[in-house]
Amino acid sequence: MNTKKALPILFLVMFLVMVGFGIIIPVIPFYAEEIGASPTQLGLLMAVYSLMQFLFAPMWGRISDRVGRKPVIMIGILGLALSFFLMALSTQLWMLFAARIIGGFLSSANMPTVMAYVADITSEEDRGKGMGIIGAAVGLGFIFGPAIGGVFSKTSLSTPFYIAGATSLVTFLVVTFVLKESLSADQRTSQQRERSSLVKAVGEPLSFLFLLQLFVSLSLSGLEATFAYFAAEKAALGSVQLGYIFMIMGLAGAVVQGGLVGRLTKTLGEGKVIQLGIVVSAIGFGLILLTESFGTAALYLTIFGIGNGLIRPSVSSLLTKKSTTGHGGTTGLLSSFDSLGRIIGPPLGGWLFSIAIGLPYISGIILSAIAFLLYHFYSVRTVKQEA
């Protein structure tokens, strides 16, 4: 499929997927509580989704290398729709858990397969731009989704789940009738021959890039889990103001990923952009400690968001260029490390916050420094391997 035609379709697909996902974010705590979930059970309900993504994203990526991208994307989106409708119909807590487990298992096909599709249709020169466009779609979906969910939850707490399910079905139809397969039969056979064991896929020196993504994801999810409490204590900010702050950060990140990443990776290369993103993120973490008002919170979080927005698309681009396994297996493994960070990050951030409110952000600086060192080790190993 022509790149110029496919990228806007993939942008729309991931935007609609993330809108559907984002719609339920402000609603699910109250919905679960209404059914009878305790705070601990709510935490488990949120974590089980990420756990399923951690376990199964690599599997779906490898399957897409064998059977093609389109059918796997269709399975992922249909699974998402099914989970939303099951949640809307849930009357007991076990039903909610079942819906989240099914949703996590099937929807873990979406992100790695879409990224693999982008890697299939872009040249190495334009790979960063393509990955950035998908990142922008994800960011914008997260901005609009929760806003839509908040509005429609006023009628009934189950309404946003039905809307999310309907959005997913529309996305499924877009993929079915508009998106064409990116892998020919010959390419599928070739990628299956190249596919190697998980051990080799995490082998040196690429393992440093997977670990880098883990630490970046850890620091981000720790911030997301604690910033509301931090901002309330430091600047007396409420939920509405926090919503605006995260919206501003999300828009800045989406603009960076959609418009800047491609240009920077073409000019500087992915490695320099990854390093730049890590440094800007670390500066953002440091500035967040100085938060004292709505304006400073929005500015400092946006600086962090810009840095963070540079990293993921650049890592995805570099991995798909350097890996000798199929694109789906590589992006699936990357998504798995990202999910692992989202599983560990919130409880770790909460524990650090309970010791001292600034600790999650000090740890963010430390995790950023570790990520920077991991890229350095990757570079050194790559030079040795090529020598």
Give residue 310's pLDDT.
Answer: 95
Residues of the chain with CATH 1.20.1250.20: 1-178, 192-387
Separation between Cα atoms, residue 200 and residue 209, nearest integer Å? 14
Q: What is the pLDDT along the chain (387 residues), one digit of tens a residue?
A: 556 678 888 998 899 888 888 888 778 878 888 888 887 888 788 788 889 999 999 999 999 999 999 999 999 999 999 999 999 999 999 999 999 999 999 999 999 999 999 998 998 888 999 999 999 998 898 888 888 888 888 888 889 899 999 999 999 999 999 999 887 766 655 555 455 444 455 555 788 999 999 999 999 999 988 888 899 899 998 877 887 888 888 899 999 998 899 999 999 999 999 999 999 999 999 999 999 999 999 999 999 999 999 999 999 999 998 887 788 888 999 999 999 998 899 889 989 999 999 999 999 999 999 999 999 999 988 877 766
Which pair of structure tokens corresponds to residue 123? 């040249």
Q: Provide the H-helix boundaries in the chain.
A: 3-23, 28-35, 39-67, 69-89, 93-107, 110-121, 127-152, 159-178, 185-194, 198-201, 207-235, 239-255, 261-268, 270-288, 294-322, 327-355, 359-386
Separation between Cα atoms, residue 45 and residue 212, nearest integer Å? 27
DSSP string over 16-72:
HHHHHHHHTTTTHHHHHHHHT--HHHHHHHHHHHHHHHHHHHHHHHHHHHHH-HHHH
Asked if residues 200 and 333 have their Cβ atoms less than 8 Å apart, the reply is no
CATH of 192-387, picked from 3.30.70.580, 1.10.3720.10, 1.20.1250.20, 3.90.1300.10, is 1.20.1250.20
Give residue 189's pLDDT.
Answer: 55
Q: Where does 1-178 sit in CATH, by number?
A: 1.20.1250.20
